[in-house]
């Protein structure tokens, strides 16, 4: 059990936890495949996304918009079709419109009445600024990969959160969907963790490499997590 009365901050992953990135990714890529006459299942598209994102994030740090362009080129290679000029920006251009899950905005509004909310995201400041308009709440801190020059599952986001917030890890509950990107490093650093097990077209860990972690709490969606924490 987590002593909720001792939790002052909730740190959130964004894409996959608050934002329906599977839907956003597929909405960006499937029309392009249709125009090019490429037949690919949604699962194949998402698996290619996972593999290419993980590969690119393991190298030297580059901005996430460049990662997204690299992912798009990788998907074209994996699915064996020539990427038309300029179309490697499809994911970058679409990201600001990736939609929140249906329970996200209400949950954040309710949770903000009790906790300080913080974003820990593998994205760039400008890209997240557009996403934030859809989330409709004020965050105490927003920590991006651009700021820390590192991608989760590295520890930099989490260490920077503790530095900025001025609290110890036992006063923070990290809320995320990805075991690989979030629960493994958060657990290593002593954060309490809540796994939001969003439905995914990919069985197991969703749009992320396989990983093993033991979250403190698990919920099928953010609505039930909110009901639990505010009970």
Residues annotated as catalytic are 13
Q: Could you give the CA distance from residue 50 to residue 22 in angstroms, rounded to a whole number?
A: 11
Q: Could you give the CA distance from residue 49 to residue 52 in angstroms, rounded to a whole number?
A: 5
Q: Do residues 9 and 140 touch, judged by C-beta distance below 8 A?
A: yes
Q: Rounded to the nearest 10 degrees, how much is the dihedral formed by the CA atoms of 224, 130, 209, 31? A: 110
Rounded alpha-carbon distances, angstroms, from residue 65 to 125, 126, 145, 179, 219: 10, 10, 11, 23, 31
Q: Could you give the CA distance from residue 124 to residue 133 in angstroms, rounded to a whole number?
A: 15
Secondary structure class of 140 (helix, strand, coil): coil
E strand map for the chain: 9-12, 116-121, 141-144, 172-176, 192-196, 217-219
Considering only the C-alpha atoms of the chain, give the largest distance between any 2 of them, rounded to a whole number of Å: 56
Please provide residue 80's backbone torsions phi and psi, each rounded to the nearest 5 degrees.
60, 55
């Amino acid at each position: 059990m987590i002593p909720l009365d001792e939790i002052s901050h909730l740190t959130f992953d964004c894409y996959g936890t608050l934002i329906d990135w599977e839907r956003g990714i597929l909405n960006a890529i499937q029309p392009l495949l249709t125009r090019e006459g490429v037949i690919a299942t949604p699962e194949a598209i998402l698996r290619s996304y996972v593999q290419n994102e993980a590969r690119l994030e393991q190298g030297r740090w580059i901005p996430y918009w460049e990662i997204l362009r690299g992912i798009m080129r990788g998907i074209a290679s994996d699915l064996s079709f020539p990427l038309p000029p300029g179309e490697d920006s499809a994911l970058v251009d679409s990201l600001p419109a990736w939609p929140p899950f249906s329970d996200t905005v209400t949950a954040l509004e309710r949770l903000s009445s009790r906790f300080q909310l913080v974003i820990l995201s593998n994205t760039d400041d400008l890209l997240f600024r557009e996403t934030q308009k859809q989330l409709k709440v004020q965050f105490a801190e927003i920590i991006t990969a651009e700021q820390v020059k590192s991608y989760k599952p590295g520890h930099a986001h989490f260490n920077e959160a503790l530095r900025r917030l001025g609290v110890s890890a036992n006063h923070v509950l990290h809320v995320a969907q990805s075991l690989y990107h979030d629960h493994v490093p958060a657990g290593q650093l002593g954060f309490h963790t809540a796994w939001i097990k969003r439905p995914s077209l990919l069985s197991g860990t969703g749009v992320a490499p396989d990983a093993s972690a033991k979250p403190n709490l698990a919920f099928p969606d953010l609505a039930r997590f909110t009901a639990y924490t505010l009970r």
